[in-house]
Amino acid sequence: MEKTKELQKIESQFETFQILNEDGEVVNKKAMPDLSDEQLKELMKRMVYTRIWDQRAISLNRQGRLGFYAPVAGQEASMIGSQFALEKQDWILPGYRDIPQIVFQGVPLEQAFLWSRGHLAGGQMPEGVNVMMPQIIIGAQITQTAGVAMGLKRKQKDAVAITYTGDGGASQGDFYEGMNFAGAYNVPAVFVVQNNRFAISVPVEKQSAAKTIAQKAVAAGIHGVQVDGMDILAVYAATQEARKRGLDGNGPTLIETLTYRYGPHTMAGDDPTRYRTSDLDDEWEKKDPLVRFRKFLEAKKLWTEEEENEVVEQAKEDIKEAIKKADNAPKQKVTDLIDLMHEELPYNLKEQKEEYTAKESK
C-alpha cells in the first residue's frame, strides 16, 4: 500500500523515546528523570523481584498449584516503570497480565495468587487500594478507564486513571471508543499499550496498517508517544509526564511501549515457537530490561551481585509465604457466590441456595 505524504508526515512524528540504550548508556540526558539513587535501586529491585516471581509462577502453574497465568518476563520495564510514576490516589485498571503493577500498588501477593485461582477473594481489593480487578475481556478496561477518569474529574480528585492492554487490544473497538470518549471529555486518563509484537500468535504488522500504535492517538485528538519499553527510565519519564498532563487539565495520553514477552502468551497451551523465530528471540534478549538497567547502575556503582542475590532470596521467601496463605484461604462455596451476587434473592435462587447449603453442610 502506497501511503500519502500526509500520512507519512504524521507517522514520522512518532519517533521512539529512549533514555538508556541497550548497553545501559544515557543517550538522552535532557530527559533523565529526577530520581534519587535509592529510587533507582528500588526500580531494579522491583524488576528482579518480578522476574523471579514470574519464574516461580510458571513453575507453580505447571504443578497445578496456580490457575490462569500470563507470563511477564521481558515486560518488567514497561510494567514497573509506569507504575512507579503513579501515586497512591491514582487508579489502575489492569489487564490479566498486569499483576505486578497492582501488587506494587498495594494488593497483597497472596490475593494475586487467589485471583489466578479464580477464588472470589482474589477480586476483593483491599480498602484504600485503588485497583480494579484484572480484566479478562480484551480492551474492556479501556472504556472503563475513561469512565473512572470522568469520575475523578467530576469529583475534582488529584488523581489519574491508568490502564494497560497489549498490541492486540489496540485492535478492539473498545480501544477506540474509550480513547475517543476520554479525549472528548478531556479526562485524566493514561492508556498504556504494551506492544510485545504479538497478539497471541498474530504479529503486530498484520494487525494494523499503521506504522505505530501511538499515532492512533491523533484520531482521538489526544497526546500519543512511542517509548522504548525495555528502558525503564524512558517508561517512567513518559508516564510521569502523562500523569502531569492529565492533572493539569490537558487531557489523556496514549503511551505505546515497545517491549517483548519472552515466554508464551499464557500458560494455557500457547507455544511461541510455532510463530516466533529464534533469531527474533535472540534480538530481543539483547534488549533485556534487567541487563540494560543493571549495566547503568553498576556504572554508577549503585548495584552489586550481592544486592541482587538478596532480592532474589527475598522474592522466593515472599512467594513461598504468599502461596501458603493462598492455600489456607477458606474453600470457596457456591452459597458464597450467591450471597455476593444478590442482596435479596429471587424465589428460585432461594430454593437453589437451600439445596447447596444442605450439600455444603455434609
pLDDT at 7: 87
198-199 and 202-203 beta bridge pairing: antiparallel
Vertex 192, ends 74 and 242: CA angle to 5°?
A: 120
- Catalytic annotation present for 261: yes
Per residue in 225-270, pLDDT tens? 999 999 999 999 999 999 999 999 999 999 999 999 999 999 998 9
Would you state the CATH architecture of domain 5-331? 3-Layer(aba) Sandwich (3.40)
3-state secondary structure of 189: strand
Per residue in 184-226, pLDDT tens? 999 999 999 999 999 999 999 999 999 999 999 999 999 999 9
Distance of CA 351 to the CA centre of its chain: 42
Per residue in 126-163, pLDDT tens? 999 999 999 999 999 999 999 999 999 999 999 999 99
- Catalytic annotation present for 342: no
- Catalytic annotation present for 275: yes
Per residue in 297-334, pLDDT tens? 999 999 999 999 999 999 999 999 999 999 999 999 99
Every domain of the chain and the residues it spans: 5-331, 332-361
| Ordered DSSP codes for 79-117 | HHHHHHT--TTSEEE-BTT-HHHHHHTT--HHHHHHHHH
Q: Which residue in 56, 261, 276, 294 is the catalytic one? A: 261
Per residue in 154-187, pLDDT tens? 999 999 999 999 999 999 999 999 999 999 999 9
Mean pLDDT along residues 44-70: 96
Contact 226, 185 (CB under 8 A): no
Least confident of 40-54, 124-138, 347-361: 347-361
Q: Which residue in 176, 185, 262, 275 is the catalytic one? A: 275
pTM value > 0.85: yes
CA distance 236 to 82: 5
**In this structure, what C-alpha cell is assigned to residue 224?**
500519543
Average pLDDT, the chain: 96
Q: Which residue in 117, 223, 265, 294 is the catalytic one? A: 265
